[in-house]
C-alpha cells in the first residue's frame, strides 16, 4: 500500500474557494486553517469554561462497546483539559459510505498533528448524529453485482420519523442485509471473519446507532477515537443548560443565520440550509419521533404534533427532561461547541456549505465558530484498476475526476464508423434512390401508390437497421475486453457517476484487501490539505 496525494478539480465551488482562502469565502469563517490559526483558536479555548462530566459521559457511552488503553488515555486527557478535534456522521449501516471512515481518519491525523504543533494534548472525537430521523439516508449501501452497481437496503420499513438512536434494529433484516451484501462482494479469504464480526455486532445492537458504534469502534478503538451519540441519555443531561441558552437565543439565531445565508447566496454560493426566520432550529421529541419547532410571538409550536410551548415551558423541558429536545443542522454545531472544547471541526463539502452560514448564529449564544478542516478525500486503486487504466492509456487522477463515459462513447463511435457497416449504409442509400425512381415511374403511369411505397420502404429500412444493430453488436463483442476495462474503471473509480468514497461501504474494501485495511491506512503519512489521497494497494 502506498499513497499519492494529487490535485484533482473539486467540482465544488464552495470547497474550491475555501481551499484557496478566496476573500469572499473566507469572510464567512472566523478562522483559517494554518498552524497560526490553530494556535489562536487554542488560546481562545483555554479561556473558556469546560463542561463538567463530559469525560465520564463519554466513558459511560463507550463502555458497552469496549474501552481500550488508547481510549482510556484520551478520556483522561479530556478530563484534564485537552482540546478536541471533532468530526461526525449519521449512523449508517456498515458505517455508511467510506467517507465516514475517512472523516474519522482525518480527525485522528489532525489531532496528532496539532498535538505536535501546540505541544498540548489534543484528543480525537467522533460525534454520532443518532438524533437524525431520515432513516432512508442510512439504511442502505451499494455493491457491484452482475457487473452493475446495486443498491442493497435494510428491508424493514420505518414509517415514523424516529431517531436512529431509538429505532429498533430488526435482527432478521440486518442479518439478511449482511448476507446479501457479502454475496455480492464475493467470497475471499476475509469474508467469513468479516461476516461473523458484523453479525456479532448486530446481535449486540438494539438500534442503528448501536450497530454503527460497534463497527466504528472495531476500526478505531486501538487508535483512541472517542465516540459519543448526540442522542444518548448522558449527553442530553450535559446539554440541559445549553438547550436553555439555545431556546433564549432561538429568534436571534434564526434571524442571524437567515441573513448570513442571504449574503452567502448573493456571493454566488446558494442556500444550503434554506433558513427561515421563524425556525426555532430545535426539535421536540415524542416517543422517539422528532417534530421541528417554529417560533412566533413568543410561542414555540409544531402543528403536526399539536404542541405549543412558551419559552418558559420549553426551558422547563430542557431543565427536567432534555431527552425531549433535539438539535437540527443549525444548532447541532453550536451544541457541539458548548459541550466540547472544539479546536477544529472536520467535515465534508456539504457540511462546509452550511457551516459557512453559521458564524453569526454562534455569536448569538456568545460562541465563536471553530476552525473548519475539510475531511480527506480518498480513492482506492488496486492492480486490476491500474492495469485497465494502463491498457486504455488513461490517467487515474483524470478518471477519478471525470469518469470514462466520454472516452467509452468515443471508442464505440470509432468502431461504428469503420468499413464493416459501410455496405449496409450504401445498400440503404441505393434502395432509397431506387424507390424514388420507382415512385416517379409509377406516377408517369398514373399509378398513385405513395403511401404503399412509403410503408414498404419503412419495412426495408427497419430490417436494415436491425441488420446494422446486429453487425454493431458483433463488432462490440470483438472488443469486449476493452469495453470491460472501461466498465471496471467506471464501476470502481466513478460508481454511479460519483466518487468511490460516496458509494461503497468500508467492508467492500476490507473484503478485498483484508481486515487490517483501516489500520494500514492509518500507518500512512498524510498532508493536511485538500489533495486527493490515492491509495495504491
| Helix (H) / strand (E) containing 259 | helix 233-266
Q: pLDDT confidence of 419, banded at 50, 70, 90?
A: low
> What is the pLDDT at residue 136?
87
pLDDT digits (tens, 9 = 90+) for 347-379: 999 999 999 999 999 999 999 999 999 999 999
Average pLDDT over residues 491-509: 97
Average pLDDT over residues 296-302: 96
> Cα dist. 121→78, 79, 89 in Å?
8, 11, 24
Whether 468 has a pLDDT exceeding 80, the answer reads no
- What is the domain partition of the chain in residue ranges? 1-271+328-379+501-531, 383-497
Q: pLDDT confidence of 420, banded at 50, 70, 90?
A: low
> Cα dist. 93→90, 101, 495 in Å?
9, 12, 19
| Helix (H) / strand (E) containing 5 | strand 2-6
pLDDT digits (tens, 9 = 90+) for 432-459: 888 888 888 888 888 888 888 889 988 9
> What is the pLDDT at residue 83?
98
Residues 6+ apart with CB under 8 A from 376: 102, 105, 106, 109, 526, 533
pLDDT digits (tens, 9 = 90+) for 137-181: 899 999 999 889 999 999 988 777 788 899 999 999 999 999 999
**How does strand 83-89 pair with strand 122-128?**
parallel
- Which is more confident, 446 or 36? 36
- The CA angle 351-230-30, to the nearest 5 degrees, is 40
**Rounded Cα–Cα distance for residues 107 and 223 (Å):** 11
pLDDT digits (tens, 9 = 90+) for 105-118: 999 999 999 999 99
**Rounded Cα–Cα distance for residues 312 and 303 (Å):** 19
> What is the pLDDT at residue 436?
87
**Rounded Cα–Cα distance for residues 312 and 209 (Å):** 32
> What is the pLDDT at residue 430?
87
Whether 308 has a pLDDT exceeding 90, the answer reads yes
- What mean pLDDT is reported for the chain? 94
> What homologous superfamily does CATH list for 1-271+328-379+501-531?
HUPs (3.40.50.620)
List, in sequence order, the alpha helices (H) in 356-447. 359-363, 383-391, 396-402, 405-416, 422-444
List, in sequence order, the alpha helices (H) in 11-50. 13-19, 23-26, 35-45
**How does strand 148-153 pair with strand 83-89?**
unpaired
Asked whether the beta carbons of 283 and 335 are under 8 A apart, the reply is no
> What is the pLDDT at residue 479?
85
- Which is more confident, 434 or 407? 407
Amino acid at each position: 500500500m502506498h499513497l499519492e496525494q494529487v490535485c484533482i478539480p473539486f467540482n465544488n465551488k464552495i470547497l474550491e474557494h475555501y481551499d484557496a482562502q478566496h476573500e469572499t469565502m473566507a469572510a464567512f469563517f472566523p478562522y483559517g486553517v494554518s498552524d497560526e490559526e490553530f494556535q489562536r483558536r487554542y488560546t481562545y479555548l483555554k479561556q473558556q469554561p469546560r463542561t463538567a462530566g463530559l469525560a465520564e459521559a463519554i466513558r459511560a457511552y463507550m463502555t458497552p462497546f469496549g474501552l481500550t488503553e488508547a481510549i482510556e488515555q484520551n478520556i483522561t486527557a479530556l478530563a484534564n483539559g485537552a482540546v478536541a478535534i471533532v468530526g461526525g456522521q449519521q449512523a449508517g449501516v456498515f458505517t455508511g459510505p467510506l467517507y465516514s471512515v475517512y472523516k474519522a481518519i482525518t480527525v485522528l491525523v489532525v489531532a496528532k498533528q496539532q498535538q505536535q504543533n501546540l505541544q498540548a494534548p489534543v484528543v480525537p472525537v467522533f460525534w454520532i448524529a443518532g438524533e437524525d430521523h431520515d432513516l432512508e439516508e442510512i439504511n442502505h449501501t451499494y455493491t457491484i453485482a452482475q457487473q452493475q452497481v446495486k443498491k442493497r437496503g435494510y428491508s424493514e420499513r420505518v414509517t415514523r420519523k424516529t431517531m436512529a438512536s431509538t429505532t429498533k434494529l430488526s435482527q432478521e433484516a440486518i442479518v439478511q442485509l449482511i448476507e446479501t451484501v457479502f454475496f455480492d462482494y464475493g467470497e475471499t479469504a476475509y469474508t467469513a471473519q468479516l461476516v461473523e464480526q458484523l453479525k456479532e455486532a448486530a446481535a449486540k445492537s438494539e438500534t442503528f446507532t448501536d450497530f454503527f458504534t460497534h463497527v466504528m469502534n472495531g476500526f478505531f478503538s486501538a487508535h483512541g477515537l472517542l465516540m459519543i451519540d448526540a442522542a444518548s441519555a448522558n449527553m442530553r443531561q450535559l446539554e440541559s443548560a445549553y438547550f436553555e441558552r439555545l431556546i433564549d437565543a432561538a429568534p436571534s439565531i434564526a434571524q442571524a443565520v437567515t441573513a448570513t445565508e442571504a449574503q452567502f447566496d448573493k456571493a454566488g454560493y446558494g442556500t444550503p440550509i434554506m433558513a427561515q426566520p421563524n425556525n426555532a432550529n430545535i426539535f421536540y421529541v415524542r416517543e422517539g419521533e422528532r417534530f421541528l419547532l417554529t417560533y412566533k410571538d413568543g410561542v414555540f409550536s409544531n402543528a403536526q404534533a399539536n404542541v405549543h410551548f412558551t419559552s418558559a415551558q420549553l426551558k422547563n423541558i430542557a431543565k427536567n427532561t432534555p431527552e425531549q429536545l433535539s438539535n437540527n443542522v443549525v444548532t447541532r454545531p453550536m451544541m457541539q461547541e458548548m459541550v466540547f472544547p472544539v479546536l477544529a471541526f472536520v467535515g465534508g463539502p456539504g457540511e462546509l456549505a452550511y457551516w459557512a452560514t453559521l458564524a453569526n448564529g454562534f455569536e448569538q449564544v456568545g460562541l465563536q465558530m471553530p476552525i473548519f478542516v475539510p475531511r480527506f478525500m480518498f480513492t482506492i486503486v488496486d492492480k486490476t484498476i491500474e492495469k485497465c487504466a494502463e491498457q486504455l492509456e488513461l490517467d487515474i487522477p483524470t478518471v477519478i475526476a471525470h469518469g470514462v463515459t466520454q472516452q467509452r462513447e468515443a471508442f464505440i463511435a470509432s468502431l461504428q464508423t469503420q468499413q464493416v457497416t459501410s455496405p449496409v449504409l450504401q445498400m440503404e442509400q441505393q434502395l432509397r434512390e431506387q424507390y424514388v425512381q420507382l415512385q416517379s415511374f409509377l406516377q408517369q403511369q398514373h399509378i398513385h401508390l405513395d403511401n404503399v411505397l412509403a410503408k414498404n420502404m419503412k419495412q426495408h429500412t427497419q430490417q436494415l437497421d436491425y441488420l446494422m444493430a446486429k453487425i454493431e453488436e458483433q463488432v462490440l463483442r470483438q472488443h469486449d475486453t476493452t469495453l470491460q476495462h472501461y466498465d471496471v474503471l467506471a464501476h470502481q473509480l466513478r460508481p454511479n457517476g460519483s466518487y468511490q468514497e460516496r458509494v461503497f461501504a468500508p467492508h467492500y474494501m476490507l473484503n478485498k484487501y483484508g481486515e487490517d485495511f483501516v489500520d494500514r491506512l492509518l500507518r500512512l503519512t498524510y498532508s493536511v490539505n485538500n489533495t486527493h489521497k490515492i491509495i495504491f494497494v
